[in-house]
C-alpha cells in the first residue's frame, strides 16, 4: 500500500482504540510509537492500557506485513492475515468506537 494509506490506517487504528480504551479501561499510559514504512518515518502519541497496547501493536504488525498494493478492507480480504480471535477483538473495538463517534456527531448536531 502507499505510504499515505499506511499512515491513515495507523491514525484510524489509534483513534478508534483510544476511544474504546478511554471508555472501557483505566490504567491508561501515554507513550510514543515510531513507524518506518518504506521511506516514511513518523511517530504517534498513543494513550492506551497495556492490553490495548499489545493488541494495537499486533494490528500495526499486520499492517506492515499487508502484501496488497491497494489494501482492501480487512473484512473483504481474500487472505485475511489476522488470527481469528484477534480479528474479532479488533472488529469489536472498531465497531464500539464507530458507534461512539456516530453518537457524538448526532449529539453535536442537536445541541
Q: For the CB of residue 17, give the shortest distance to Zn ion in the complex, in Å.
A: 8
| 19 or 52: CB nearest Zn ion | 52
Report the distance separating Cα 12 and Cα 98, nearest Å.
11
Cell numbers 478508534 correspond to what residue?
16
Q: Is 74 in the site for Zn ion (CB under 5 A)?
A: no
**Interface with Zn ion in residues 9-68 (CB under 5 A):** 21, 25, 49, 52
Burial (Cβ within 10 Å: 0-12, 13-18, ≥19) of residue 56: buried
Burial (Cβ within 10 Å: 0-12, 13-18, ≥19) of residue 100: middle
Number of residues that bind Zn ion (CB under 5 A): 4
| 6 or 60: CB nearest Zn ion | 60
| 1 or 90: CB nearest Zn ion | 90
Residues that bind Zn ion (CB under 5 A): 21, 25, 49, 52
Amino acid at each position: 500500500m502507499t505510504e499515505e494509506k499506511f499512515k491513515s490506517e495507523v491514525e484510524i487504528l489509534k483513534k478508534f482504540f483510544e476511544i474504546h480504551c478511554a471508555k472501557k479501561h483505566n490504567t491508561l499510559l501515554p507513550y510514543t510509537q515510531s513507524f518506518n514504512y518504506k521511506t516514511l518515518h513518523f511517530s504517534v502519541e498513543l494513550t492506551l492500557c497495556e492490553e490495548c497496547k499489545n493488541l494495537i501493536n499486533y494490528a500495526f504488525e499486520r499492517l506492515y506485513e499487508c502484501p496488497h498494493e491497494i489494501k482492501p478492507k480487512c473484512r473483504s480480504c481474500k487472505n485475511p492475515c489476522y488470527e481469528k480471535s484477534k480479528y474479532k477483538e479488533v472488529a469489536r473495538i472498531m465497531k464500539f468506537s464507530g458507534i461512539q463517534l456516530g453518537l457524538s456527531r448526532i449529539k453535536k448536531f442537536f445541541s
